[in-house]
Structure 1
Amino acid sequence: MSGKHILITGASSGIGRALALRYAEEGARLSLLGRDANRLEAVAGECREKGAAADTAIVDVQDRSGMFAAVEAALARAPIDILFANAGVATGLSPGQILEPTESVRAILAINVAGVFNTVEPAILPMTRRGAGTIAMVGSMAGVRGLPYSPAYCATKAAVHSYAESLRGVLAPHGVDVSLIIPGFVKTPMSARTKSWQPGAMSDMQAAEIILRGLERRKPVIAFPLFMYAALRFFTFLPPRLVDSVMARFSADVPQTTEREAV
């Protein structure tokens, strides 16, 4: 692992921060991207204390030209061995609410879907020319089967899942791996705002460890906890109305994102 170059978006908190710290322990070179300068530099400082080289870039994944420039700058420092398209936001419905604000829906699409494209696209040709590298996209259990309390978020993660699955077949002959990461409930600032039953919840550092080990084994899908992934996959084979009725029995209050559509 020592000396590998790891690029992570959304590196200032949650799973992104945990991945940065875990790879710092392995002696990796880090390119950390995020929007909050203070939090991002704090994470970079923690990584440097562990002996890792850490560069930062303040950039919004919605900014296509900004992301191309940030990824190209990272590539100029060293070839990227693992690129994490991790940045994302969540939004949803409160009990009794039936419509998400259209501005929030468009914002989450721009961040969670276009943001993944903006992260991945600049790395594809450099990795295929080199014949090496891994693209790791962070999806969600919410992308396996739609949940009634978070329609837009589920849609964005389902899109990420399909994108990862499609790219995996395209890039494999060129020596580039694509791994889809499917986390369940991870204790992050984002998940802490959601009021619901959270089976199998784990710390962000536990999640980072699972992801690191899965990538070492070149797993195409890294899903955890496995019991939740298996249950949701099983639900996709059952009659939709039956599953809908079961889902409706679980109460959830998912705060709306503060992000708004850029106009």
Structure 2
Amino acid sequence: MNNTNGRQSGIPDCVLITGATGGIGKALAREYAQAGSRTLILQGRDSRRLQEVESICTGLGARVVTQLLDVRDLNALTAWLEDISHREHPDLVIANAGVNINTGAEQQGESWDDVLRLLDVNVRAVFATVHGVLPAMRARGHGQIALVSSLAAWRGLPETPSYSASKAAVKVYGEAMRDGLAREGVRVNVIMPGYVESQMCFDMPGPKPFLWSAAKASRVIRQGLRSNKARISFPFPLNLGTFLLAVIHPAVSGWFLRRMGYGA
């Protein structure tokens, strides 16, 4: 497959998205189909929702390859990624699969089993995705990998400590990998959304300021990836606020969070 024309136009010919059945994943699949990507490779673990996304993107003119897979099965995930990388040569891989947990309505705390499940999806599977697709990109001398973090990576929220920590790990990992791979022609970008309409977002406790639609978020993400921005973080007011919370003293940032309705 010749992907030169796609790279020159700024529209990747072949895009692989994990977690393609979630709010952002589904919107990204639609966004790239509308933009003119010829092949979409979509992973999910809900067959009905995966077929729904496939139908939408096929209707927009894209060729769609689906994979029903739980990313917690790291061996199966890696084997599939290595195989699909050699068969389809994805230009862009978006590691989007993620889950969230919280401390509960009475703030009783996160269960240990839930913490382990979250770390498997949000950290280990993201790292495994990079390792699965990177060898083929290195061999070709080009490619792009986008890792979905969160504005919660700037400063952990008391209701979602494990989620915040997992997204901080993804942020730091992505930034380090970007620098390490720059000379090899492989671009790495970190995506840090704020609150985006999705079931996962609605299930989160606490206020949700500056809530964006998934469609709006996907447009901003695609434009940021096209420009190869190191960090695609939005919306601006929330990004600035969470960044400032990260750099001031924790006692002060904790006070601000409580005043905003987060935590006890």
Q: Same fold (TM over 0.5)?
A: yes
Q: Give the residue type in structure 1 aligned to 2:185.
A: G
Unaligned runs of 5+ in 1: 254-263
Matched-pair contact (CA < 8 Å) for 1:59–1:70 = no
Indicate whether 1:85 and 2:109 are aligned: no
Q: Return the structure number with greater helix share.
A: 2
Matched-pair contact (CA < 8 Å) for 1:148–1:248 = no
Q: CA deviation at 1:78?
A: 2.2
Q: Distance in 2 between matches of 1:154 and 1:194?
A: 12
Q: Which moved more, 1:48-57 or 1:140-149?
A: 140-149
Q: Give the residue type in structure 1 aligned to 2:224.
A: G
Q: Distance in 2 between matches of 1:95 and 1:73?
A: 43
Indicate whether 1:106 and 2:125 are aligned: no
Residue in structure 2 matching 1:69, options 79, 86, 97: 79
Aligned to 1:149: 159
TM-score, normalized by length of structure 1? 0.92
Q: Distance in 2 between matches of 1:243 and 1:196?
A: 16
Q: Distance in 2 between matches of 1:3 and 1:54?
A: 14
Indicate the percent of aligned positions where both proteins have the same amino acid: 37
Task: Mark the CA change 1:94 to 1:3 in structure 2 (over 3 Å): closer, same or farther.
Answer: closer
Q: CA deviation at 1:95?
A: 4.9
Q: Which moved more, 1:158-167 or 1:90-99?
A: 90-99
Q: Give the residue type in structure 2 aligned to 1:21.
A: R
Q: How big is the alpha-carbon RMSD for the aligned residues of Structure 1 and Structure 2?
A: 1.5
Matched-pair contact (CA < 8 Å) for 2:46–2:68 = yes
CA deviation map 1:142-201 (0-9, x unaligned): 111111111111111011011101101111110011000000000011112224321111
Q: Which moved more, 1:72-81 or 1:24-33?
A: 72-81
Question: How many pairs are equivalent?
Answer: 253
| Secondary structure in structure 2 of the residue aligned to 1:179 | strand
- After the TM superposition, which segments of 4 or more aligned residues of structure 1 sit over 3 Å from their partners? 250-253
Q: Distance in 2 between matches of 1:209 and 1:155?
A: 26
Residue in structure 1 matching 2:28, options 19, 22, 29: 19
Give the alignment of 1:126-137 within 5 angstroms: 126-137=136-147
| Secondary structure in structure 2 of the residue aligned to 1:134 | strand
Indicate whether 1:40 and 2:59 are aligned: no
Residue in structure 1 matching 2:128, options 118, 129, 133: 118
TM-score, normalized by length of structure 2? 0.92
